[in-house]
Chain A
Amino acid sequence: MKRRRMLDRLFTVAMAAFGLATLCALFTVVGIVVWRGAGAISPSFLLDELRGAGADGGVFYHIAGTAILVATAALVALPISIAIGLMSHGYLGDGRGRRAIEAVLHALNAVPSIVFGLAGLALFVNTFRWQKSWLAGGIVLGLMIVPTVAVAFLEKLRAIPAHTIEAASGLGLRRSMISTAVLLPQAASGLVTGLLLGLARAAGETAPIMFTAVIFSGATIPHGIDDSPVLALPYHIFVLAQDSFDPAALQKAWGAAAVLVALVFGLAIAALPLRLRIHEEAKRV
């Protein structure tokens, strides 16, 4: 009895220690970024455009470019992930097709982002002759995060009790109606969670967009599709951190990193009311 209680306590302490270590790691990373970048943050840094090879000016168009890429990625990933989830869960049953789709999703999730970048380069830049384009970058990012979004959606779909689907079928609803009226609303929280995770990843990726969508300077808001590059925070940080020996430019890189972290947190906070509402509705099921 005493031994069992000790083991239980040991397990609790170990779990708490691991949880604390994870939180410490997160706060350390965010803390370093905020601490090093805080000096660069000012209204002009957020609202001005880049000047002096990154040593001067601000990151307004980098924020706008990142937002455009992330929004495009969301618009690409969301319908594809919904279609994959509903097709896999609503139409393929428990058969081989469903297992194959899930295996492909997990495999795609493990593909390095640079491979997506190269595929985008081959397709959009070399084949379609778009040169660098925000749309190409958004599509590549969107396809890259599809596995993350779709897997989270599928997990939630799998949690819907079979008798709920049976009840809807028993009322005479067609599969398409069950998909839209039962499966989608009840698994929407998984979709939003997956999308947030995916977009947070997309916002910080450099490799998939460096060949297809972004340049270091000279771009503003794009007005077309082909030859319409954008600026983006992760690529800006990457170039400044790698190539700049100017301390002022490095300070700006830390500032840009802090803005990127704030963007990701902002995205999660902005989606919080939606997630809470979906969660409340799901609890009522």
Chain B
Amino acid sequence: MFDRDTHPAFEVRGLTVRSGTRTILHDVNFDIPAGQITGIIGPSGAGKSTLLRCLNRLIDLSPSLDVEGTVRFAGRDVREGVVDPDDLRRRVGIVFQQPVTFPGSIVTNVVFAARKLGLVTRRGESELAERCLRDAGLWDEVKDRLEAPALTLSVGQQQRLAIARTLAGDPEVVLMDEPTSSLDPRSTEAIEQTVASLQGKKTVVVVTHQLDQARRLSDWVACICPIDGRGELMEAGFCCDVFCEPLRDETRAYLGLTGRC
């Protein structure tokens, strides 16, 4: 499916998620290429965020959900007993729809997890903070007020701060759950630039409702649609293939709302 040089970062097989008797995701099978940007698109309620949370086992925080199937990352099923979920989440970072800031300054927020996890020495903190803020495209805007409270930043800046904080943990994969849905166009553009700059350096998986954004950013796209109330993978493939020549009627119907080739 991928180019010859590309190998999968994740292999999702038979993934089904249930909440009691309700099936949220049904029998999802697809691969996520390493080092590329994968967009996950689909209507609201299709289970895109649930799928994302299965990749780093954040779904474990919702004990009412039952998960079946396998998600292989780095050659292992993430739900195997030997896999430490906290270590997995450090390697597979996530950025949420709403930015979360922790108490303290901008720089404290950037190195928050790296400091707690012992990934950086006290002396190396400023260097790490600068590098991650540059990678997140925020450095120029905050370099003169690094000790200011993080909450003084705009929501768009807080979202980039969240990206910087995730990058500070040096994850191999960055998951993004609708990272620009609550942002203005300028902030959205800044975040998109940040995501684009990660191409080739990290595996990035972006859940988005914005089809134009998915088309602009993604190398690879997976489309999930609700069928009889449960989310099913319609198709996954190269971005241009899914957008221009969708195989399934459901994908065509979904893209037909706004998607043009």
Chain B contributes a number of interface residues (CB within 8 A of A) equal to 30
Q: Add 16 more A-B contacts to A171-B89, A172-B93, A186-B103 (CB < 8 A).
A: A93-B63, A165-B61, A166-B61, A166-B96, A166-B100, A168-B113, A170-B58, A171-B169, A172-B88, A172-B90, A172-B117, A173-B116, A181-B112, A284-B101, A284-B150, A285-B101
| Contact with B103, one of A171, A172, A177, A284 (Cβ below 8 angstroms) | A284
Residues of chain B lying within 8 A (CB to CB) of residue A174: 86
Q: Lowest 10 CB-CB distances: which A-B pairs, in order?
A: A172-B90, A171-B113, A167-B100, A170-B94, A172-B89, A284-B151, A284-B149, A281-B103, A174-B86, A177-B116
Shortest distance between the CB of B101 and any CB in chain A (Å) = 7
Residues of chain B lying within 8 A (CB to CB) of residue A5: none
Interface residue? A248 (CB, 8 A): no
Interface residue? B87 (CB, 8 A): yes
Shortest distance between the CB of B151 and any CB in chain A (Å) = 5
Residues of chain B lying within 8 A (CB to CB) of residue A285: 101-103, 151
Question: Do the beta carbons of B166 and A171 come within 8 Å of each other?
Answer: yes
- For chain A residues 164-191, which have a beta carbon within 8 Å of chain B? 164-174, 177, 181-182, 185-186
Per the bound structure, the CA–CA distance linking A197 and B251 in Å amounts to: 60
Question: Do the beta carbons of A172 and B162 come within 8 Å of each other?
Answer: no
Residues in chain B within 8 A of chain A (CB atoms): 56, 58, 61, 63, 86-91, 93-94, 96, 98, 100-104, 112-113, 116-117, 149-151, 162, 165-166, 169
Question: Do the beta carbons of B100 and A164 come within 8 Å of each other?
Answer: yes
Q: DSSP class of A's interface residues: helix, strand, loop or mixed?
A: helix
Contacts A177-B116, A285-B151 given: A170-B89 contact, CB under 8 Å?
yes
Interface residue? A267 (CB, 8 A): no
Per the bound structure, the CA–CA distance linking A173 and B113 in Å amounts to: 7
Per the bound structure, the CA–CA distance linking A166 and B151 in Å amounts to: 18
Question: Do the beta carbons of B63 and A171 come within 8 Å of each other?
Answer: no
| Contact with A163, one of B88, B98, B103 (Cβ below 8 angstroms) | B98
Residues of chain B lying within 8 A (CB to CB) of residue A186: 103
